[in-house]
Chains A and B, each alone.
Chain A
Amino acid sequence: MHFDLPALTSIMIDFSRMTKWIPTFLEGVGVTVTLSLITVSLGSLLGLFVVLLRRSHLQWLSLLAKIYTLFIRGTPLLLQLYIWLYGLPKIGITIPALPISSSLFGTREFSTAIVALGINSSAYVAEILRGGLEAIDKGQTEAARSLGLSSKQTMQHIIIPQAVRVVLPGLGNEFIQMIKESSIVSTVGIFDVMYTSNIVKAATFAVFEPLIIVAAIYLTLTSVLTFLQRKLERKLNVDLKGS
């Protein structure tokens, strides 16, 4: 086998040029983690609401929730982001920038991304929560109701504490998923981890190094989160016991 030596050195990877960009990468990490955290929290609240609609005895509410879930899960996230950012403003629906003077978080793009990603997340969270509630044996409800507990007490003290344990891994996965998927916001100029690779590339003309660093950052984030999730699950299993 023969290598052309000059050609090989010309693709040599050199990380020394990257060190002074570390603060930029870290800023990107801050944006990605903040965005994912807000998004999944918002998604969880909305998701809970969607499940309640879905389980409603009123047919049309349940249908509405179904259509919502179908639409969100059946179309790409990037498309949903574009609709919120470029489509809806045409008919007068604009998400205003957060009232903070930060070039990272105080832009219309950032707040719109929170809404678009949060709504997207809610449809997935709703499915996770629905699965959790359905995983609890109906004998649990029957036992509680036969003792004379109200349906609200049964939900609050019997079903939800058990469902939480069932859904926790799913919610953790949703957060980890969001860390990765939120990278699409870089296409609309939000300064997340992915976007930092563009900045560094433009400034240093290095292409591969920033990509490798960004990959390492995502991998580290998801690994650490997976580890924390395992630990939390184990702790919860000890706390909640039960079969």
Chain B
Amino acid sequence: MSILRVVNLSKKLGDLQVLKEINLEIESGEVVAIIGPSGSGKSTLLRCLNSLEVPDSGTVYFYDTEVNAKKQTEAELNAVRQNIGMVFQHFNLFPHLSVLENVSIAPRLALGQPKEAAEKQALELLERVGLQDKVSAYPEKLSGGQKQRVAIARALAMKPEVMLFDEPTSALDPEMIKEVLMVIADLANSGLTTILVTHEMGFAKEISNRIVFLDEGRIMEDAPPEQFFNHTKNERAKIFLSKIM
């Protein structure tokens, strides 16, 4: 069974039809890169997957559970979201909490983990993203790359089955992009199901098994990276690639 399944999803924001009849299936362990021009609906699609946006029509399934903030009870929705980690372009760390608290707060509150256990796990995760020396720092003292690595550790602390990344390196200075990409590559290679919206084409090509190309709210192509980057027949994709490569 697919871990995530999107069926006939359409979504309007304001007057704009942002997503049109999207169908998409993600299998467990897949690494999927969503690419496309600015404004094509990539973020909106990603946000529909954990119901930060609720579709106007169509359905999102996590396994066989419909994910819908308007139809599910809050407890049901929270249970699904605990299995879907999300990393944002602008980090969204909690500025009033230390790095250690940022990473341990969700297991403590949502799973009721005792403080010691949650902090022990947070330390391990921070070590994994190379920030063991920043545990007691506050977010304002971190560089962009460090913030994003904390945000990744924070999401991992809930032991999610899928990770969603929305342009995790777009707000970073060039010299910090690599440290974040390396962490993401490490996760993807470990077998964690990953959906990544990115403008880093080289990276997408390298780590993903599938490229989903979105244009004006439609999936125009869904293919393995080798085929997409070298042999796409889609005109919009060709134009897009010629502009950025």
A residues whose Cβ falls under 8 Å from a Cβ of B: 137, 139-140, 142-151, 153, 157-158, 161-162, 165, 240-243
Contacts and interface: CB of A to CB of B under 8 A. Distances in A.
B219 interface: no
Contacts of A142: 52, 88, 92
Nearest to A140: B92
A140 to B, nearest CB: 6
Contact of A146 (B79, B86, B97): B86
Given A161-B96, A241-B95, A149 B139 contact: no
A242 B79 contact: no
B82 interface: yes
Secondary structure of the B contact surface, majority rule: mixed
B82 A242 contact: no
Contacts of A162: 95-96
Contact of A147 (B74, B81, B96, B98): B81
A242 B110 contact: no
Interface of B: 50, 52, 74-75, 78-79, 81-82, 84-86, 88, 90, 92-98, 105-106, 109-110, 138-140, 151, 154-155, 158
B80 to A, nearest CB: 8
From B52, B88, B94, name the one whose CB has the most chain A CB atoms within 10 angstroms: B94
B95 A146 contact: no
From B74, B97, B98, B109, name the one whose CB has the most chain A CB atoms within 10 angstroms: B109
B81 A148 contact: yes
B25 to A, nearest CB: 22
A165 to B, nearest CB: 8
A99 to B, nearest CB: 42
A139 B171 CA distance: 14
A185 to B, nearest CB: 39
Contacts of B151: 143
Contact of A149 (B52, B86, B106): B106
A226 to B, nearest CB: 25
Nearest to B147: A243
